[in-house]
Structure formats: structure tokens, C-alpha cells
Amino acid sequence: MARTKNRGFEEKTTTPQIVRWKLGEYIRLSKEDINRGKDKDDSNSVTNQKALLDDYYQQHIGEFESVQPPYVDDGYTGTDTNRNSFQKLLSDIYAKKVNCVIVKDLSRLSRNYTDAGSLIENLFVQMNVRFISLAEGIDSYLNPDSISNLIVPITNVINDNFCYQTSKKIRQVFDMKRRNGEFIGGFAAYGYMKNPKDKNALIVDEQAAEIVKNIYEWFLDGMSKNAIVRNLNDRGILCPSEYKKSKGLNYQNPSGSERPLWGAKTISDILKNRLYIGDMVQGRQRVKSYKIHTQEQVPENEWYIVENTHEPIIERPIFEKVQELLKRDTRTAPQKKKLYLFSGFLRCADCGKAMSRSQVKGTVYYFCRTYKDQSKTACTKHSIKHNRLEAAVLYAIQQQVYLAVHYANTLEYISTAPLQKSQSIRIEALIEAKEKERSKIMRYKQSIYQDWKDGEITHSDYRHMSEDYEQQIAALGEVLKNLHAEREELQNCITAESPCLVVFKKFETIDKLTREVLVELVDHIKVHENGNISVKFKVADQLRRVMEYIEINTQEQAV
């Protein structure tokens, strides 16, 4: 009997293993998609995207072990991955809850070329995630070559460029609106509200505007920013973010604090904001790019500022006084609500540093801060008692007020003369001297060019010397510009109602020194080592021109 080959072994057959996937449907709709689909049935709507994905799932239900609730980002840009549901999807991929991702088209996954490539070609491959995009016919499992198809990177580049072009167009429209003084912010600044009839215009919110006025008044009255903060919080006044919420606005506090309160930065921002004098100020921040959405500060010279676009809450003179005060060193002592009388006004006459306040046995003194805090060899004490300083400054102001009244009376007399003279010998002489100096330097500049051509100096020497002469010419040009402006002002005939005189005349009966007076009239006070002081008034230059004008128009009569 013949032996059967391979007796004792049975022939085995293998059945291909069926892979069943854990499906995650991803849906994204940007704000631009929403705006485009307002007046029509947009195929990119959340509802339509979900219908397409669900239909695919039902037709291929045998391929899937499970399906997660759809991951939906409604109103999110695709230029970055900072999307709540998308991050949840990634988290579930890492947790092995999802190993198949399906989208309507590649733009739903990402409109960032780099991000899209990294996800499809790296992350999904490393995590063994099947990726399906219906519009492009991509399926990394059933058709692995579809991932490497040229259509994928081309589509991602087109999607990326679409975002760039859209961002560029939006930015151009916004810039045009900013230049026209139209408000384009999401929320109006505290004290204002959007005009219900025109979302690009602001109107005063009377309730909040009163708080803004109080903040300016308190600050001018000598109250520190921290004291203002405590005052508002103690009185239960809602801070700007909470106030917006109380008005039904969907405002999110940037700080994320559970119980937002007034803070020193908020007060400082309100005190510096030109919006409160009726000027539209926009463009103070911008995103780095259409892909990187972090905000960066914009230099002030690049802001969009349009004056007198809406009703002011604060008068311009008050705002300007506040800006001057903000530049000063105005710290307060512990537990003090108001600033000291001379806080921010005193300087050492020699080193120029601020003066330090000290109290010794009930008597207040001021010392040079360099001498007191840094080195006794760097400067001298410059000590002066508060009472003596206060009396001296009051006397200096009273004298200046007396002169201002006298000047005003003299100007009224001059105004009755048939012809007023305005030519200043001093200004004319200065203009002539500076113009001669500029002409001389320009000749020097021309001569060194010839020296270079003749080989007497090197090109490097010529370039350095030429730059130096250019700087000198520019500096002289600025001086001449100021001198011409001064001459023009003098020619416009100064009157008894000139602002520099009016500001002093309103303190004609002054008998007590207050911080209000200092803020209004004084730029700074220098304390000398011998105990003398010198007061620099804010309108000193204008007063000098008044004196000069009076001198010009009274010389001939005196003769």
C-alpha cells in the first residue's frame, strides 16, 4: 500500500483579519465661514459637515468598532491648532480612544500648511491613525498612496494661501476704518458704549462716565492710583470687566480672575487713554501673523489716532495736566491716600535727581536723594525745611501772578496804539547767525566731496565726515524751525488774553499753596545747596515772549 505524503498533517487555511476602527469625526467652522453662509445654505455649516460624515459612517459601518461624539469647533480659525475640540481629539488619539479621523475636506483639519503636513505625514503615521478626507478622496488605510498624492500638499498650500489673502483683505478694511476714525473693537472702552444705530461709533455711557470723571478728579486732587483703587473697591463700584457683564455683554476677563476688582493698571490705562478726550485711538496691539495669533504691542508712533470723533468725557486741559503728573515720581508713604504737596516736583539743583522727604522730630525736611541713598561723596545734602520751601514757592508764584496782571494791563494799553511792532532784535540776530552757520557747514560738506574726488581723503573718511556734517545741518535746521515759529508767534500780536497770562490771572488772590496750583503752574522746583530755590513755570517761554513783545512796543515811547 502506498504511503500517503505528509501523513499525520492537516492542511490549514488562514482567514484575513478584519481591522475595525475607533472613529472620530472632526468638524470645524470658522467665523469667516459663518459670515459667508449667513444668507445661503452653506455646505461648510456644522449641520452639513456632520451629515456628510455620518453618511460615510453608515455606509461603512462594518469597518468601525466604535464612534465617538463628533468633535466640533464652531467659530475657530484653522490657522493654528489652538481649538478646544481639536485638542480633545488629539488627547483621545494619544489615549487610544480614537485611531481613525475623518473630515469633510483638508481645510477642516487645518489651513496651516505646516500643521497639516505634520499631522498627516508624521503624527497620524506614528500613532497608526487612519485619516480620511472625503472631498479629496484620501484614505490612508485603503489607499496609502493617496497621502503621497501631489494633490495633498498643493491643497494645503492653497488652503494656507486662502487664509493669508483673507487676513490681508480684512486687515486692509480694518486699517481703512481706523484711518477714518471708525471704531472696530469688539467692546467699547469703559465710559462708552457702541451706538445702537452705528456699531462703528461710540456714545457716552453716563453711568460709567461719572466714574471716569471721578478718577481724574481724585488723581488731580493728589490721590494716588492705589488709593483710587481702594476707594472704588471699598465703595463696591464694579470694575470695567464686571460692569460690561452686568450690562449683558459677553465679555471675558483677560486675567481670568474669579472675582475681578479694580487695579492700579486699570486706573493707569484710564488716565492715559486719549479716547476720553474724544480722540479715537486704535491699533495699539496687533497679532504677529495670520498663523501666530499672539498679541504684540505696537509703538505709539504707529497707532491710528483720529481727533474729535466722539463726545469727550474729560476736557483736554485736564487730560494734559494728568499726563504731566503721570510723568512725575509720585509715590506715597505707607497708609497714605493722598500725595504729599511737593511729590514729583522737587529736584536737586546740582545732580538733577529727585529730593527725598524725611520727618525728624515732627519737622519735615527734603534732602538730595543721591546724597541720602547712594553716596555722600556724589552730591551734597541740599537740605531745606518744608515750611520754608512752601513759603518760598508761594511767594514766587505770587510774584509771577503780579507780573502777569501787570503784563496784561500793559498789553491792553499797547493794543490802543495805531501800530504794534513785532520785530525782535534777539530773534533776528539768532536766525541770521544760525543761517550763516548752516551755510558754512554746507560749504564744508561740498569741499570734502572734491577732496575725495581729488584723492586727498579716503572714501571712508569722506563718508564719516559727510554724515557728521549732515547731522549738524539737521540740528541747525531744527533750531531755525523753532526760531521761525517763535518769530511768527511774536508777529501774531500777543494780547492780554494770551493763555500764559490767563492761567496766572485766575490765581490773583492766592494766599495758600495747594497741589492744584502746583499742577497748573509749575514744571519743577530746584533746591540749591545754600537753601535757595528756583521755580520753573510751565509757560516760562511764552512769558518771555510776552516780555519781549512789551519791550519792543514800549522802547520808542520811553525814548
Picking from 74, 78, 85, the residue whose alpha carbon sits closest to that of residue 111 is: 78
Report pLDDT digits (tens) over 26-45: 999 987 665 555 444 466 78
Q: Is the pTM of this model over 0.75?
A: no
Cα dihedral 200, 203, 207, 211, rounded to 10, equals 90
Residue with cell 501772578: 401
Cell representation of residue 506: 485766575
pLDDT tens sequence for the chain (559 residues): 445 545 444 554 444 556 789 999 999 998 766 555 544 446 678 999 999 999 999 999 999 999 999 999 998 888 888 899 999 999 999 999 999 999 999 999 998 888 898 999 899 999 999 999 999 999 999 999 998 888 888 998 888 888 888 778 878 888 888 888 888 888 899 999 999 999 899 999 999 999 999 999 999 888 888 889 989 999 999 999 899 988 888 766 655 555 688 998 999 999 999 999 999 988 888 777 666 767 788 888 888 899 999 999 999 989 998 988 887 755 555 555 667 888 889 999 999 888 888 888 889 999 998 888 778 888 998 999 999 999 999 999 999 999 888 888 887 777 666 544 555 567 778 888 888 898 898 888 888 888 888 888 888 888 888 888 889 988 888 888 888 777 676 555 567 677 778 888 888 899 999 888 888 889 899 999 988 999 999 888 778 877 777 777 776 554 4
The domains found in the chain, sorted by start residue, are: 21-148 (3.40.50.1390), 192-327 (3.90.1750), 341-558 (no CATH)
Helix (H, G, I), strand (E, B) or coil at 164: helix
Ordered DSSP codes for 454-517? TTSS-HHHHHHHHHHHHHHHHHHHHHHHHHHHHHHHHHT---TT-HHHHHHHTTTT--S--HHH
CB 25 within 8 A of CB 102: yes
Picking from 151, 128, 139, 147, the residue whose alpha carbon sits closest to that of residue 56 is: 139
